[in-house]
Each structure stands twice: as C-alpha cells, then as structure tokens.
Amino acid sequence: MELQELLQVSAAILAGFLVTEGIKSLNGAFGQGKFDGFAPAMTAFFVVLFVTFGQVALGYIPAEYAGTAANIAKSILAVLSAFGIHRTAQRMGSIK
C-alpha cells in the first residue's frame, strides 16, 4: 500500500469516526434519549456505507458539476465532523 492510499484510508476512517460522533451529538441535541446498544455501531456502519457510496457516486457526476458536488459533500462532512469534534472534546473533559 502506497503512502497516498494509506492517507486516504486514514482520512476515511477519521471522517467516519467524526461524522458518527456528530450524528450521536445531534441525536442528543434533539432529545432522542440514550444512544446505546447497537445504535452507535449501526450508525457507524451507515456512515461508512454512505461515505463510500458518495465517493463512488461522485465519479458519475459530469465534470462540469463535479466541483460543486464535491464542495457540497465536503460542507456536509465538515458540519457533522464539527459536532463530532465537540462531542469528543466534551467526553474527554476539555469542554463543558
């Protein structure tokens, strides 16, 4: 495995973790109760599934729209990741 491929896989794993934490944070913000049992594992599974599907789907978008589609996907990923970073920092005791 080349370094570039390793970095892409590492970035995908990190994005999956942060988005999963972001979704769990949003679940708590909307008062949906505890997020335990199989729910976190299923959320992580679907996040990775949708991220992978999104990467494949971007390949089918015409070249003139690829930049816009990629920016929309990055924006969604960034917002959910921000919630994930905040939740992780709260659990570590950095933020109250």
Q: Residue 84 domain-assigned?
A: yes
Residue numbers of the domain that contains 73: 16-92
d(CA 95, CA 92): 8
d(CA 58, CA 52): 10
d(CA 59, CA 40): 29
Residue among 36, 6, 11 at smallest CA distance from 24: 36
Question: What are the pLDDT digits (tens) for 49-95?
Answer: 877 787 788 788 888 988 888 888 888 878 888 888 887 787 777 66
Using an 8 Å Cβ cutoff, are 23 and 80 in contact?
yes
**Helix residue spans in the chain (DSSP H):** 3-29, 39-58, 63-92
Tally of domains within the chain: 1
Q: Residue 6 domain-assigned?
A: no
- Threshold 0.85, pTM exceeds: no
